[in-house]
Chain A
C-alpha cells in the first residue's frame, strides 16, 4: 500500500465528488432581482442592443407571462419563484483597462482546465468562455476569421453581425416554443455565435465553456450556430458551477442551422453542480436545443454526456427538412444520489430519404430517477425515411428508477422506424470478477459503466472523451459498497 492514511483517502474521495465547486472571488455587478419589462429593458441597455432585439425580448416576455411550467416530464420540480432570481450578473471591468481580462477570471478558467490564454490553450480548440451573464473572451479569433469563420460571443455578434443574427435567431426555436425558451428569449444574456461560410471546413474544434459563479442568479445563455453550404464544424460545450445549498436555474437555448451538404457535430459534457448526497442544492438545467437540417444532404450529430445538475430537462432535437439529410443523437445520462433527469431527443423527418439514429444510455444510481423521452415523427412526405433507436438503462442499487418514454408517429407509408430497449444492472458477478483481479469496487463500477457507455463516448472529440470517462467514474462514486 502507499503511505496514505485511510483518512487521507476518504478525504480525497469526498473532495473528488465535485471538483469544480469553488467560488471565484471577483467584484461583480448585479441588477436587482425579479423580472418585469423594466428589468428586460435594463438587460438590453446594458448590452447596448438595437431596438429590434429589445422588441424581441419584450414579445417573448409577454408570451412567457401567459405560459405555465411544463409538468409532463417525469420530474419532481419544486416551485420556482421567478421573481427571486437575479437575471444579470457580470464581473466588473477595470475602468482603466477595459480590454484586459481580470487575472482572477483567467485563473478560474485555468483551474477548470480551460486555459483562455492562447499561449496556454489547447492546440486545436478555440474557446468562448462565459462567466455568469457575459463572455469573458474568445480565443483564436484571428486564426478563424482568416478563413471567414465567425466565432464570438452572442452580444458581440449582435453588434458586429446584426444581419446574420436577425436572420437566424429564433428560426429554429420560435419565441413561444416552450416556457423555458420563452423565458430565455426574454432575458438571455450571453452565449456563443458561430458562422461557418460556404465550403469551409473549420480547422479547429470550437467550444463554449459556461460557468455560473454568482449566488442567487440564473444563467440564460443563447447559442446560435450556422453552417453554410458544404461547411463543417465540430462544436463542444462544457459547464460547471459552485457548490451551493440553493438551487440555481440554467435555461439555455441552442439553435443550429445546417445548410445543404453541411455537417455539424455538437458535443456536450454537462457537469453542473448536481447537489449534495442528500439532494440539497444543485442546478436546474432546463434547456432547449434544436437544430434544423435545412438543406439536402446536411448532417447534424448530437453527443451528450450528462452527469451534473440536480434536475435535467433537455431534448436536443433535429428537424430533418432537407432530402437525404441525416441526424444522430448519442447520449449518456448519469444520475446519482437524488438527481433527476428527463432527457432524450426528437427526430422530425420531413424530407425524403432522411435518416436518424438514436443511442441513449441511461445510468441510475442512489435514489435518482432517470428517464429517456423521445419522439420519432415521420411526416407524410418523408418517403423512405429511416430511424433506429436504441435505449438502454443501467441500474446500480435498488433505490433508483429508470424509465423510457418513446413516442413514434409514422405518417409515411414507406418510412421504417425501429426501436430497441434494454434494462440491466451491474451484476454482483461483474463486480466480483473485477475485484478478484485487484480492481477495487469504485474503479470497477467506473470501468463497467465506461464500457457500457463506450458507443457514445467514442463519438466525442478526443479532448472531451478522456474528461468524460473520468467524469462518469467520479459521478458514481459512493454508489456501491
Chain B
C-alpha cells in the first residue's frame, strides 16, 4: 500500500516545565489523513505533549526534534504554528471578557489570511462563513455575540473549540481531553464536527484518558503514553483492551 505523505514527525522529544522532565523521549509519526489516539493515565504527559506541539512558552524542550510539513516546528512561534495549520482544542478554554466570538474569530481568521498574503475578508463574507460553521456545531445565532467562553457550559466551551477549528480549517487538529465534562449529546455534536471536517489531507490527534470519545471518532492508530514515553502503539483494538484491563496491563 502506498504510504501517505508525513505530516508530523516527532523524534526523541524530551520536554518539561520548571526543570521537571515530563516527556522523556517521545517518537511519533503522523501521516496525512490519519487519526491518532494518544491514551494514557493521568500525569503521563499527554497535555504536555499538546502544549509543546502548540508552542506554549513555559514548557521547555531539552532534546529531540519536531518536523511539521518539512519545517522545524520548534523554531516557530505559537501564532506561526497556527498559520501553518496546527489547531489545539483546549482542555480548559480560557475566558476573554468583553470580546465577542465574532470579534475574536474575525481577528483570528484575518490574521491567518494576512499570513497567507490575502486581504481581510469582507464583512458580509465573514458573517456568512460564521453562520455556516455555527450551524455545523449547532450553535444558535446569539452565540456570535457572546463573550469568548464567558459563562459557557462545559459542552458549549468544547463546541466553541470545534467551531473555531471549522473556521480556521487546520491541517493538524489536536483535541486535548475534548471529552472531559461533556454529556452524551455534546459529545455527539463535537465528534460529528470533527468527523465531518476530516479529509484525506488532514490529520487529528485525539488525546484522551477514556474510550468514550473514541467510540465516535474512530482512530487509525492508538498510542499509549506512560511516564513520558510511548509504550505501546497498535490499531483501534487497543482501545477496548485498555477499557477492560486498564493501563496497568500495558
Residues of A within 8 A of B (CB): 1-2, 427-430, 432-441, 443, 447-448, 450-455
Contacts and interface: CB of A to CB of B under 8 A. Distances in A.
B115 A438 contact: yes
Interface in B136-185: 147, 164, 168
A447 B103 contact: yes
A454 B145 CA distance: 13
B82 A450 contact: no
A430 B82 contact: no
B204 to A, nearest CB: 16
Interface of B: 54-58, 77-79, 81-83, 87-88, 90, 93-99, 103-104, 107-108, 111-112, 114-115, 117, 147, 164, 168
Contacts, number: 81
A429 B51 CA distance: 11
B195 to A, nearest CB: 22
B112 A430 contact: no
Given A1-B115, A437-B168, A438-B82, A451 B147 contact: yes
B94 A427 contact: yes
22 contacts: A1-B117, A427-B94, A430-B95, A432-B57, A435-B77, A435-B79, A436-B79, A436-B87, A437-B82, A438-B79, A438-B115, A439-B79, A439-B107, A440-B79, A441-B79, A447-B107, A451-B96, A451-B103, A451-B147, A452-B97, A453-B98, A454-B99
A51 to B, nearest CB: 54
Nearest to B92: A429
B129 to A, nearest CB: 15
Contact of A437 (B55, B95, B98, B164): B164
Among A428, A438, A439, A448, max chain B CB count under 10 A is at: A438
Contact of B111 (A438, A451, A453): A438
Q: Specify the main secondary structure of chain A where it touches its partner.
A: helix
A443 B111 contact: yes
Contacts of A439: 79, 107-108, 111
B99 A448 contact: yes
A438 B99 CA distance: 16
A460 to B, nearest CB: 15
B96 A430 contact: yes
Contacts of A1: 115, 117
Contacts of A443: 107, 111
Nearest to B105: A437
A433 B98 CA distance: 15
Among B55, B77, B83, B99, max chain A CB count under 10 A is at: B99
Contacts of B81: 436
A285 B190 CA distance: 54
Nearest to B113: A438
B76 to A, nearest CB: 11
B96 A447 contact: yes
A437 B79 CA distance: 7
